[in-house]
Every structure is written in structure tokens, then in C-alpha cells.
Amino acid sequence: MLIQDNDAVGIRFDFPGQAYASLQYACPGEIRDAQTRLFLKHLHYIAENSGFYRRLFKENRVDINKIRTPSDITALPLTEKKDLGDSNAFLCVGTDEIVDVSLTSATTGSLPTVLHLTSGDLARLAYNEEIAFAMTGITQQDTLLICAALDRCFMAGIAYFLGGVKLKSRVVRSGSGSVSSHWELIRLTGATAVVGVPSLIYKIGRYALDQGDDPAKAGVKRLIAIGEPTKDPAMKLLPLARDLENMWGASIFSTYASSEIATTFCECTERCGGHLRPELGITEILDDAGEPVSDGSPGEVVVTPLGVTGMPLIRFKTGDISFLIDEKCRCGRTTKRIAPVLGRKNQMLKYKGTTVFPNAVIGALEGDPRFHGGYVEAFMNQDGTDRIVLNAAIDETQGVDWMKDILRARVRVVPEIKIIDRNVADRRVYQFDKKRKRVTFFDLRQK
Ligand SMILES: [Zn+2]
């Protein structure tokens, strides 16, 4: 293995924030005190070194000396994805301290955003994922297969790799390989845990079954689901996730993260939402007006990642809608948890007075043997309201009533239904986007 603790490669694994790992089990007062120290350090570092925030603070007349606790964070301006266009304005170190360049998807129609990372930022990512994996029960005894791109400047893949290495598990870089190569590596290495997008792990399992193999006998005990939710807001497994557990004879754990926030909220062994990481970030849930909502109420997830040195951010708007859970977890951790992501803010549809997320429509049907795939399209009616069309590959002879019943029960509304051919559905949905997520929503509303 090339990378050892603090070795000559230059990746130092002793991220200072890891001294706060015990905060997971601390009382609220202790968490608040530690987070206050980390937050003020972060804020003053940014005020001193970030051209973007110096200008933003001046424009908004922010006096950072008046910010004393994490709850004062609401006095600071929000940062949006489009602000990151000129990433150099965010740089807080000389270019000689940058050791990794990551790219993250851009807002529609523009170039990807560049994220500059220092060796300290890589150490922070390693620590972040080490704790996330450990939360699911992965240990040094595990063989961890990573089915996420480690190349093409993706941050997630390298974070999983470094985290697995720091945890001292045996990491298998399956990367963005084909479904058959992932399965071959699982058999060859005896992988006990697989990290990947749920729909991809499902395809790997299907491939194995088609070969006459049984994925449930492969010895995989944990599926770490990235990029797509596995549960509905009531923490009930989505049909696809339930099928995955049966198919692999394994437990599925959800993680939520994004490149900009560089922080992972992972489920513990109790599997009831991703634990927040107070030593790595301040998480807020905001309404449309940018005001905090109470725990349990949905809103946009906004994160201030603490301890980042290359391109630190303040109050980054993720565009994801979720809510916080403030109940003691049976695992003994005292941190709040984040619920499954309900959907993307810009994909939120209004239909017959109800909020609908396209992913919830597909998620409700997946796993039913009568549903062979499909996607959702949104159009705008002449009166400005949303029109939703579910394109579903089903057997026409069975009718659509069964589908309407499921949708009424799980998403409360029934959109227009168009029956399509299975091949058409596959061609449209499985043009995996760059993160190897499926594309199941096409927004054709006039902006
Ligand atoms: Zn827990």
C-alpha cells in the first residue's frame, strides 16, 4: 500500500478535527462548545484568506466579530453553486499547497466547477469517510469494493478510497468498471461490503443471476448506498432497496454527501437516518425565504463544512430537500440525524395542491415485478401549473389500476400515465449521468 499514516507521499492523515470524533456521543452542551471553537476558527480563517468572502462580507456589512456561536450563523450570507464559477476567488492558500483538483457538476449549461484541495483537505476527507464506514460496522476485517469513479476528477471515489484505507480495511478500486467486472471482482476478492449507487448494485446482482450465480452467497454483508435514497421519509425501505437486501442477503446503509460540503452523513447500524457530524460541519435546513425551519420540517439542506483549508465555504446551499430528526438514536450517538433526501429543490413539482418529487414516483414503483422501468416528465400547463407524465414500461394487459393504487398510497397523487416499451425506458433511463446515477426525470417545463 502506497499511502501510510503521514508518509512521504504527502497525504497526512492527522486532520486536526479528528480529535473531536468523540463528539458523536457527547452531550448537547459539549457539542455546542466544540463546534463554537471550530466554527470561529473557520470563520476567521476565511475572513483573512478568502477573496470571495471578504468581498461578500463587505457588501453585506457583516462584522464577523459579532458572530460568537454557531447559532449566529444565520447572520452570514448564503453561498450558491453558481457562486463557485470563479473558484480561484475562494482559494485560501497558494497554488503550491493544492494537491488535488476535483470537479463537481455545474448548474445547467455551464462548465463543471473546480474544487481545489490541500493535503489537509484530503486528510479531512479520509477521516470523514473512515468514521462514516465505521458507523455502518465496517472494520479492518472487511474487504470494501468501491463501485464509484476514482478518476475523472471525482471527489467521492477518492474519499471512499482514502476512508477505507484509513480504516485499514482492504479496499478494492472497482471504480467505474462494467457490471461484469464489478461482479468478477466481488468473487475474486471476497468483498464483504460494496459502495455504489443502488440501481448499479441491482444491475450487478441481476448480472450475477443471469450468469447462474447467486449474489446472496457471495459473502457481501453490507451495501453502502450512495447518490440515491433507499428509504421514504417514514424510514421505510423503498422497494428497490428491499429487493437489494433480499438479492444480496445484505443490509443496506444510506449515505448522503456532496463534493462541495465534503462531509458524509451516514447511517449507523440502527439505520434510521444519517448522523450529523458536528466536528465537520454545521447543518441547517432552510425554507424558501432562507429562514431556518424546525426539526422535522422539510427544507433545503445548507451546510458549512468546517476545517476545509483550500476552498472553504460558508452556508452552501445543496439544493437537496430533507429534514432533521432530533431523537436519541438507539446506537447511543447523541447527534441529530438527517432524513432521506426527499428530492432536489429544482425538481419539486406542484400537482393538485401537493408537492411531488419525481424520484418518489419512480421509487414507489420500483421493485414491483409488474413495473419494468420508466421515467417522469414535467411540462408546464398554459396556466403555469405543472403537468406530470409518468412513462411506465408495463404489461398493457394488466391495466394501470394497480399502479394508481401504489402511487395513491405512497406519493398521494396519480400523475398522467403513458405506457411505453421496456427498451425505450431502458435507453432513456440508463444513459447514466456522470455520477453513474440513472436519469429518471426530464424537466420540460419552460423556464
Ligand atoms: Zn445511530
Distance 188 CA to ligand 1 centre (A): 33
Q: Give pLDDT, residue 6.
A: 47
CA of 326 to the centre of ligand 1 (A): 11
Q: How far is the CA of 271 from the centre of ligand 1 (A)?
A: 7
Tell how far the Cα of 89 is from the centroid of ligand 1, in angstroms: 38
Q: How far is the CA of 325 from the centre of ligand 1 (A)?
A: 11
* Distance (Å) from CA 329 to ligand 1 centroid: 5
Distance in Å, CA 335 to ligand 1 centroid: 8
| Ligand 1 centroid distance, CA of 189 (Å) | 30
pLDDT in tens, 359-394: 889 988 988 889 999 999 999 888 888 899 999 999
324-329 — which CB contacts under 8 Å span 24+ positions? 324/276, 324/283, 324/285, 324/295, 324/296, 325/272, 325/273, 325/295, 325/296, 326/295, 326/296, 329/268, 329/270, 329/272, 329/275
Handedness of CA 180, 185, 186, 187 (dihedral sign): positive
Q: Report how far ligand 1's centroid is from the alpha carbon of 129 (Å).
A: 16
Alpha carbon of 17 to ligand 1 centroid (Å): 21
Cα(272) to centroid of ligand 1, in Å? Answer: 7
Strand partners, 316: 79, 303
Kindly give the distance from the C-alpha atom of residue 170 to the centroid of ligand 1, in angstroms, as a whole number: 25
User: How far apart (Å, rounded) are the C-alpha atoms in residues 102 and 122?
Assistant: 11
Q: How far is the CA of 330 from the centre of ligand 1 (A)?
A: 6
Domains of the chain: 1-342 (3.40.50.12780), 348-443 (3.30.300.30)
Q: Which segments in the chain show pLDDT lower than 70?
A: 1-13, 106-110, 431-437, 447
- Whole-number Å distance, alpha carbon 258 to ligand 1 midpoint, is 21
Nearest to 359, CA basis, from 285, 440, 283, 432: 440
Whole-number Å distance, alpha carbon 255 to ligand 1 midpoint, is 13
Starting from the edge strand earliest in sequence, which strands make up the sheet with 143-146, in order?
Answer: 170-172, 143-146, 193-196, 222-225, 251-256, 265-266
pLDDT at 17: 80
pLDDT in tens, 136-190: 999 999 999 999 999 989 999 999 999 999 999 999 999 999 999 999 999 999 9
Task: Report d(CA 337, CA 345) in Å as an integer.
Answer: 20
Listed residues: CB within 5 A of ion ligand 1: 268, 270, 329, 331, 333
> What pLDDT, on a 0 to 100 scale, did the predictor assign at position 2?
40
CA angle 324, 329, 334 (to 5 degrees): 80
Distance 351 CA to ligand 1 centre (A): 35
Ligand 1 centroid from CA 104, angstroms: 29
208 C-alpha vs ligand 1 centroid, how far in Å? 33
- Ligand 1 midpoint to CA 278 (Å): 14
How many angstroms separate the alpha carbon of residue 418 from the centre of ligand 1?
42
Rounded to an integer, what distance in angstroms lies between the CA atom of residue 358 and that of residue 226?
18
Measured in Å, residue 308 CA sits from the centre of ligand 1 at: 25
